[in-house]
Structure 1
Amino acid sequence: MNSMIKPSNGIFLYLGIVLIALSACQKSPELAPEKLAGVQQSILSTLPPPPVANGQAVSVSINQTQPGFTIADNFAGLSYETNYIARDPSFLRADNAVLLQMIQNLGANGVIRIGGGSSDETIWTSGPRYSNTGIDSLTTTDINQLAAFVSATGGWKLIFGLNMGHYNPSLNAKEAVYVSNALGTNLYALQFGNEPASLSESGLRPPGYDVNGYMADWSVYRDSVRNRLPLAPLAGPDVSKMTNSISVFSKPFADNLHADIKLLSGHYYGNGYSPIVATDPESVFDSITSIKTYKTTPVQLGKINTLATSYSLPYRITECGSVSKGGVAGISDAFGSALWALDFMWQVAVNNGRGVDFHGSATSNYTPIARTNGAIVPRPTYYAMLAFKYGGGSGSQILPATLTANGKLCTAYACTKNGKTYVTMVNRDQSDLSYTVNLSNAATQMTLYRLTAASIAAKTGITFGGATVSASGTFSAGAGEQYAVGANTTVVNVPARTAVVVVFE
């Protein structure tokens, strides 16, 4: 698969000349700007040209003159079940140095969401945890530990879900006060309940419970919380299937309660909550990267953005994964899920979503960060999150990217940041592809960082930019593959079932 990836023969010569040039500049401060430009041109002339096209042809045109949405600085996100704090108290801790390092690798800012189905089954005790306290209870000990963990991330904020399944507005208002006091400015928002359309299915509401019943319950919770915390930040409705429940839940909720929330929230899974019947990686990979994901989902995300912006609200995917209900072993913990995750993050970003919170735990199949044999390790989705960050990520502006796929299963996204243009290309096809990249402004050089593995079924050996996450949690993508461009058009080869981030300067 990776036979297309060839080393840059001029890299070592290039680095040597860079050092010589820098030394000359330091010793000769009188060098005029035009002479420095000449030195720069000389350096660039040592870079090798891009490899010739050796895959099937596709193309993407980037309009660098029309920057659009800015990707939020807290786009990166992780999501955990409420009862996970008690089930695995050694994971989300301020002394879990490797986990904290891996979170910080993703960006200085981000969001951790605590909620899920267990938020509607976990009861607030208003007291500390004792040896006989069950995992279906939430205590002051748990919240104190969680608050310390969030603080230790250095800039990430918390979305916290209160129990609305077991209806008790007064008790949960007390919980909200404790959470707010413990988190302080690290509290991003409170939510009431989880996937409200499913409350009747789980027996927590009578049959026929709908958005009207939910809004009535939500309003009582709002009043109870705001009586104690007048400025409490709220989000909702945290619906399942956010992309296809717009008219059923999200729109009525936003129409009636937009003035009370700071964020419109919902969930998304690659399989759309449908049962996974196939067991081989190829079939499941094809199902979660089907036309639904790559044609319908962006359209629906656009509709969500239209709804949110009509009320000057941001929206966020607060729970997400390749396959629902914990994921599927051999699928959600394999490399194919990284390609899916990278695509989905860009779909949300292009449609002005404020972030994606990937659901998980230390042991679930779809988690971005896991614990294996006592060690904190990255899973494939984590490498996708790194690729998104290195592909411009937070703070960059989306650029229009027009793809001509010629029937191939591939995508391309573009953004700009600090004068550079970033293009992410994801090849889901079984064929090697050669992207012809057409830029509206000529580039001098490009640097490539590849997201690769031996196959879509690989669980190990995943790299980004030729690098892996260290045992201590640190990560550096290295220098990448560097090539001279000197034109508006160039070719980038992307092997089958891999992705690449290209930085144009």
Structure 2
Amino acid sequence: MRLLLVHSFLLGFGLSQAAVTVYGPHVQQTFGPYGTVTAASASYTGAAVYNPTTLTPPPVPNPPPPTQFNIALESGNVQGLSITQRGSFFGFSIEFSVVTQVLGRNSSFLQVPFLNLMANIRERAGSVHVRVGGNTQDSATLVESTPDGAALEKDKTNESNPTATPPTIFTAEIIKMMAGISALTNVRWYMGVPFNDTTNFRLQIAEVGEAILGDYLVGLQAGNEPDLYSRHGHRPESYGPNDYTTEFGLLIDAMEKDSNIPNPNLLIGPNLAGVWTPEDVWNTGFVNDYSQQLSALAVERYPTDNCYAQFGVGTPRTGQEMFADYLTHTSGQHIVSSFLNSSNYAQTVGKPLLMFETNTASCGGFPGLSDSYGAALWGIDYGLQMAFSNFSGALFHVGGQSVFYNPFTPPVTNQSTFHQWTIGPIYYSALVVAEALGASNLSQVLDLNPNGGNEFTPGYAIYENGQPMRVALVNYVTDPSGASDYTASISIAGGSTPAQVKVKYLSATSTAQKYNFTWAGQTFGDVFGSDGRPMGNVDIQTVPCDQTAGVCRVKVPAPGFALVFLTDQALSESDEGPTMTFPTTAYTKFENTATIDQAVLATSNGNRGLSDSLAGTSKGRQMSGAFRLRHALPASLGAFLVGVLAVGRLVR
């Protein structure tokens, strides 16, 4: 990961005087008391994630996109469809060093907002895929205990790399915590085997991960961005694709000799950053030699970087000058274009291709851009473009308080008790993509290139069994006059025109708007505004169709996004009912937490979540006895655990 990593508790919302150390690909930089992690706003001195910078939307294109166009959908033997996709296509990548901020303190105290955020997607997609990893994974070590008793700490006595980043040490509590989350929300996990010492692989993470997570562990990354190892001083300058392939083989040998790893065939590689091409690795015989042990092929890519603003390295860029580049269909197309050969290759060898880490820009993203409504539209378009281009999944990265692009961010621990989580635009993108693909796991995506292929008005059709089910329509233009609102006239060749269609809108007033977006009328609010549950009443629009003319006319505002459900079945598949969520009825200085009965974790592998069954080892098996999910206040100054978390359902 070429991003900022948090070394210590970061600056709060202008309140903390703690120094902040952040790490990039080449340098370390420390900001003193009341320092700022961004040069974008000279008057702002808080954490980057809450930076108030707001950009100016690009002007209406000249010439403006046509505002009336037809979309003729085919049915039956449709050409150009993607491979079959799952609703869980869009997942998250969480930097290992911040897992105790995001997931929970340990297996007894889970972050309730995180549970809610995962439950929202689980209800739409059936499951959620989350990677715990990044640069800090390569040097992480599983230990029996840490000096301070925490589940995760930095081993500052072993700082060794060029940025003096201390390696991470952690206990099995981290993996137990992940199992507790999975039991409630059906999260499926990717982890990584440390790859910094290939003469003595530390395989404990695979041993304990498989033992505790069982079927919830779906992949083990082998090396994070190995094409950057020599640049970062972790390998000799001559290190190349053949060397990585050789080391991958050494890892396989070590795992197959370890009787505590029952399944050595979960490996994922090569996880490239872009210095090498994937073909450089395929040409070494990597896939042919290790096909049995490879569960997936993976790459990592960001569209650009903001490293100069953070570290003075690379090309100077500002969010304002880059904003227009994101508000166009060509952005996602450009990113995936270099992987089209690899996605075809992955199909020939029978392996899924994953975008294992991505977001708006490396080195933390751009203030005002990465946290804007425009980024939400971009995330939808980019996600569906990857699905259309035959990726099988994409993980959008979550950093600490020092980045602008987080899908979700917990408040720092020194904040007052009323501060809650901040939900970023990329999380809205995840909800939308989950609903667009649905929970049938039969979806195939088609880039329609509507409106004459206009780059500001992209659209996709989602098919199941050869029949169109949903249409996703984007309008990147910001035009408060309404003159750039467009109407798409949707028809189905060889199929009957429905009497009406249902439409959900992702809405904001401008592509530059920050927070308070609405998805089908519901929002996650402003900064410090969410416990992970959408707020407000659901608003699903009913659009009558002209059955005589055989068209359904759907209006998309400028800016805006519309998801059109062509049948009632399409709507029910994407939104099957009320979401099981977890009300936060108590607040603490450590944010909201939930406790989980440890006995449950011993038998919780493989089941779908709280609304189906818990703690059974067989599909559909109901656990004996009551499952207890308790919301507790951590002990402090002699206070004892208090509060009860009631499990409730969100009225949708």
Name the TM-score, length of structure 2 as normaliser. 0.63
Partners in 2 of 1:462 and 1:91 — Cα distance? Answer: 30
Deviation for aligned residue 1:396:
4.2
Shift of 1:259: 3.0
Corresponding position of 1:464: 519
1:403 to 433, 444, 449: 449
Of the three residues 245, 248, 256, the one matched with 1:215 is 245
Q: How does 1:17-28 map to 2 (within 5 A)?
A: none
What is the letter of the counterpart of residue 96 of structure 1? Q
1:88-487 matched pairs, under 5 angstroms: 90=104, 95-107=110-122, 108-122=126-140, 124-131=141-148, 133-134=153-154, 136-170=167-201, 172-228=202-258, 229-232=261-264, 233-241=266-274, 245-250=277-282, 252=284, 253-271=286-304, 277-281=316-320, 283-289=321-327, 293-363=331-401, 364-372=403-411, 374-394=419-439, 395-398=441-444, 400-406=446-452, 407-416=454-463, 421-430=469-478, 431-440=484-493, 441=495, 442-469=497-524, 471-475=530-534, 478-487=538-547
Q: For residues 116 and 145 of structure 1, what CA distance do their matches in structure 2 show?
A: 20
Contact 1:240–1:266, Cα closer than 8 Å, also in 2: yes
Report the aligned-residue RMSD. 2.9
Amino acid at match of 1:466: G
Specify which of 552, 557, 576 is matched with residue 490 of structure 1: 552
In the aligned structure 1, how far is the partner of 2:154 from the partner of 2:100?
8
Q: Mark the runs of 5 or more structure 1 residues left unpaired by the alignment.
A: 1-53
Alignment partner, residue 33 of structure 1? none
The count of aligned residue pairs is: 448
* CA distance in structure 1 between the partners assigned to 2:282 and 2:475 by the alignment: 33
The Cα shift of 1:211 comes to: 0.7
Is 482-491 or 111-120 further displaced after alignment? 482-491
Q: 1:199 touches 1:205 (CA, 8 Å); kept in 2?
A: yes
Instruction: Describe the shift of the 1:169–1:290 C-alpha distance in structure 2 as closer, same or farther (beyond 3 A).
Output: farther
1:34 aligns with none
Q: What CA distance in whole angstroms lies between the structure 2 residues aligned with 1:65 and 1:276? A: 49
CA distance in 2, matches of 1:265, 1:403: 27
How far residue 251 of structure 1 moved from its aligned partner, in angstroms, is 5.4
What is the aligned partner in structure 1 of residue 603 from structure 2? none
Aligned mates of 2:329, 2:254 — CA distance in 1: 44
Distance 1:206 1:90, change over 3 A: same
Asked whether the 8 Å contact 1:173–1:221 carries over to 2, the reply is no
How has the CA–CA distance of structure 1 residues 287 and 448 changed in structure 2, closer, same or farther, with 3 Å as cutoff? same
TM-score by length of 1: 0.80
Q: CA deviation at 1:353?
A: 2.0
Amino acid at match of 1:62: L
Name the structure 1 match of 2:74.
63
Q: Secondary structure at the match of 2:538?
A: coil
Inter-partner Cα distance in structure 2 for 1:299 and 1:234: 25
How far has the Cα of 1:305 moved from its partner? 1.9
> How far apart in 1 are the matches of 2:398 and 2:139?
18
Question: 3-state SS of the aligned residue for 1:190?
Answer: strand
Aligned equivalents of 1:276 and 1:100: distance in 2?
A: 39
Unaligned runs of 5+ in 2: 1-64, 156-166, 308-313, 479-483, 568-652
Q: How far is the alpha carbon of 1:483 from its aligned partner?
A: 1.6
Counterpart of 1:402 in structure 2: which amino acid?
A: L
Could you tell me whether the CA contact under 8 Å between 2:301 and 2:358 is conserved in 1? yes
Q: Helix, strand or coil for the counterpart of 1:391?
A: helix
Quickly say closer, same or farther: Cα 1:210–1:297, change in 2 above 3 A: same
Q: Deviations over 1:352-371 (max 9, x none)?
A: 32211110035332111112
State which drifts further: 339-348 or 249-258.
Answer: 249-258
Cα distance in 2 for residues equivalent to 1:59 and 1:91: 52
In the TM superposition, what is the alpha-carbon distance from 1:422 to its structure 2 partner? 0.6
Q: Give the match's secondary structure for 1:331.
A: coil
Identity %: 21
Distance 2:542 2:283 in 1: 47
Q: Determine the C-alpha separation between the residues in 1 that align with 2:487 and 2:438.
A: 24
Q: CA shift at 1:382, angstroms?
A: 0.7
**Shift, 1:415, TM fit:** 1.2
